[in-house]
């Protein structure tokens, strides 16, 4: 039965592709199994609290500097502060343990009091090395490991995973499981915003931030997730006395924003292997003269494509989106920054927010001024590909109504949950694939060879 439906799918895609020659790209004919998108039960295995008094939980790591020689380790202890130290050693060091000192923070949200949230940056790591690390004290110590990236350089292969809008439903668990089992083996994950969806619950029930932290620990304790801020991180609720935006998120998730001269944790950049990754903030000011605008204006000319050929931008609210959900919400930011992306030949922009999947052609819409009427996206070989990967599987369900007919710029779209992989081979080629949850975890529902815009700017369109 499975293979029959798969053949139907392939046949459907061929048909749609023929049509696509005269009208945009393809809208997948895949019909997903209807299933309820509900949060996993509080006593689910994924939310289990590790046993022991004051034992560290919700362990997560992210890159801790600009080049990949530092890691920020974060975790929570519930009973007392305990220790904010991380003990770590490289695989080759005969277990001589080094110690990094961190600190802890707490916060209150309505009637919720957080545990002790520890953040500790480990610095001066060797590239391309496996490290073990330990948090906690005495008999409640827990041990994990990570592998540092290779030294930044133009032809370093590296595989990034992509998940957005994850939440903590049964679908979220399937998305994460498929990512973990994907044979392409993601080495770091670009998380495109909207983490726990705590704010969908009464009083933004912050216990949901804790359960989410325990749910994703099985991946993010072992490989860095690169964080982007989404709208579900705002937690702005003056009606219950919570008027400091981003309070839970900024206490729980630290990013190395100062290393890229950013002045706030919502926009920053890192270099990792052969990629220069710019994270932008859809929910912080980006108009002319604002700190984010000023930062990006200075950041883009600093990107050295000889060192990092791949220029990747992550932001939450998509600029090109042909779903009937959040339609044009990203438009004002597109107007501000799109000319810069074309000028600096950004390779790809990943967004989330819309709970579905979509990949664009290389297009731009920058000719317009208030009198000339030139306001349509046009094919542009210097423009990025825009990918919406907000299909992690959260409690709000899928976005399944689309703007018809499919706009020319939209190459492929499908309302299914899933994840993606961006597999950099060298300075000219990267292989990209999207994996829907209904398939086996190795099946590619959509894929594309990316040709680097700086080193190999030839047409890499998949529909023309």
Ligand X SMILES: *[C@@H]1O[C@H](CO)[C@@H](O)[C@H](O)[C@H]1NC(C)=O
Catalytic residues: 326
**Partner from Fe ion, ligand X, none binding residue 52, C-beta < 5-8 Å depending on class:** ligand X
Is the CB of 194 or the CB of 338 nearer to Fe ion?
194
Interface pick for Fe ion out of 24, 230, 377, 418 (rule CB under 5 A): 230
Q: Judged by CB under 6 A, which of 139, 183, 239, 458 binds ligand X?
A: 139
- Residues that bind ligand X (rule: CB under 6 A) add up to a total of 24
Based on the shown chain and the rule CB under 6 A, indicate whether residue 111 belongs to the binding site for ligand X: yes
The answer to the question of residue 307 lying near ligand X (CB under 6 A) is yes
203 binds, among ligand X, Fe ion, none (CB under 5 to 8 A by kind): ligand X
Q: Are 175 and 45 in contact (CB under 8 A)?
A: no
Question: Where do runs of H (alpha helix) occur along 121-200?
Answer: 170-181
Interaction of residue 436 with Fe ion, rule CB under 5 A:
no
Q: Is 394 in the site for ligand X (CB under 6 A)?
A: no
194 contacts which partner out of Fe ion, ligand X, none, CB within 5 to 8 A by kind? Fe ion
Q: Does 404 bind ligand X (CB under 6 A)?
A: no
| Residue given tokens 């597999």 in the structure block | 423
Backbone angles phi, psi at 460, to 5 degrees: -120, 20
- CA atoms within 13 A of residue 359's CA, in its CB half-sphere: 22
Q: In this structure, what DSSP letter does residue 329 have?
A: T
CA–CA separation, 112 and 96 (whole Å)? 40
Site string for Fe ion, 168-197 (x = CB under 5 A): --------------------------x---
Provide the 3-class DSSP secondary structure of residue 159. Answer: strand
92 binds ligand X per the rule CB under 6 A: no
Please report the sign of the dihedral spanned by the C-alpha atoms of residue 123, residue 125, residue 127, residue 133: negative
Q: How far is the CB of 114 from Fe ion (least distance, A)?
A: 23
Residue 448 binds ligand X, judged by CB under 6 A: no
Q: Is 371 in the site for ligand X (CB under 6 A)?
A: yes
Q: Binding marks (x or -) toward Fe ion, 326..365, rule CB under 5 A?
A: ---------------------------x------------
| 269 touches 257 (CB < 8 A) | no
Cα separations (Å) of 369 from 94, 309, 345, 375, 451?
64, 32, 22, 8, 31
State how beta strands 188-191 and 158-163 pair.
Answer: parallel
105 CB neighbour count, 10 Å cutoff: 14
d(C-alpha 156, C-alpha 411), whole Å: 29
Q: Which of 4, 289, 372, 404 binds ligand X (CB under 6 A)?
A: 372
Partner from ligand X, Fe ion, none contacting 371, C-beta within 5 to 8 A by type: ligand X
Burial class (CB in 10 A: 0-12, 13-18, 19+), 339: middle
- Residue of 34, 43, 45, 80 interacting with ligand X (CB under 6 A): 45
Residue 269 DSSP SS3 = strand
Interacting residues with ligand X between 217 and 276 (CB under 6 A): none
Give the pair of three-digit tokens for residue 411.
Answer: 């190459």
Query: Residues in the site for ligand X, rule: CB under 6 A?
Result: 40, 44-46, 51-53, 111-112, 139, 170, 173, 177, 203, 304, 306-307, 369, 371-372, 425-426, 428-429
Query: Residues in the site for Fe ion, rule: CB under 5 A?
Result: 194, 230-231, 353
């Amino acid at each position: 039965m499975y293979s029959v439906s798969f053949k139907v799918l392939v046949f459907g895609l061929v048909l749609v592709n023929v049509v696509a020659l005269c009208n945009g790209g393809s809208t997948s004919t895949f019909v997903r199994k209807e299933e309820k998108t509900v949060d996993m039960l509080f006593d689910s295995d994924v939310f289990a609290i590790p046993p022991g008094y004051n034992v560290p939980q919700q362990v997560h790591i992210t890159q801790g500097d600009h080049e990949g020689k530092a890691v920020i380790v974060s975790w929570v202890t519930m009973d007392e502060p305990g220790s904010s130290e991380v003990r770590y050693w490289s695989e080759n060091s005969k277990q001589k343990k080094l110690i990094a000192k961190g600190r802890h923070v707490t916060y209150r949200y309505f009637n919720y009091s957080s545990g002790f949230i520890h953040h500790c940056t480990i610095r001066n790591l060797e590239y391309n090395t496996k490290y073990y690390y330990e948090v906690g004290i005495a008999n409640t110590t827990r041990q994990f490991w990570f592998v540092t990236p290779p030294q930044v350089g133009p032809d370093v292969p590296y595989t990034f995973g992509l998940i957005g809008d994850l939440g903590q439903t049964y679908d979220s668990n399937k998305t994460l499981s498929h990512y973990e089992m994907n044979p392409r083996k993601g080495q770091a994950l670009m998380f495109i915003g909207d983490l726990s969806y705590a704010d969908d619950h009464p009083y933004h029930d912050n216990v949901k931030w804790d359960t989410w932290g325990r749910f994703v620990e099985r991946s993010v304790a072992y490989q860095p997730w690169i964080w982007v801020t989404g709208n579900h991180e705002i937690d702005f609720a003056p009606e219950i006395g919570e008027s400091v935006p981003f309070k839970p998120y900024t206490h729980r998730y630290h990013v190395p924003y100062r290393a890229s001269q950013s002045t706030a944790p919502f926009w920053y950049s890192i270099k990792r292997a052969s990629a220069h990754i710019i994270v932008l903030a859809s929910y912080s000011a980006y108009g002319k003269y604002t700190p984010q605008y000023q930062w990006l204006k200075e950041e883009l000319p600093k990107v050295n494509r000889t060192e990092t050929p791949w220029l990747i931008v992550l932001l939450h609210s998509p600029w090109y989106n042909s779903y009937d959900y959040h339609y044009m919400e990203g438009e004002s930011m597109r107007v501000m920054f799109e000319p810069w992306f074309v000028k600096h030949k950004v390779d790809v922009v990943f967004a989330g927010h819309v709970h579905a999947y979509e990949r664009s052609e290389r297009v731009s819409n920058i000719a317009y001024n208030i009198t000339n009427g030139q306001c349509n996206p046009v094919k542009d070989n210097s423009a990025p590909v825009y990918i919406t990967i907000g299909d992690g599987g959260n409690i709000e369900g899928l976005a399944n109504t689309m703007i018809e007919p499919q706009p020319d710029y939209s190459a492929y779209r499908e309302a299914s949950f899933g994840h993606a992989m961006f597999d950099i081979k060298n300075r000219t080629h990267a292989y990209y694939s999207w994996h829907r949850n209904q398939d086996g975890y190795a099946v590619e529902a959509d894929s594309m060879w990316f040709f680097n815009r700086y080193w190999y700017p030839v047409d890499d369109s998949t529909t023309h």
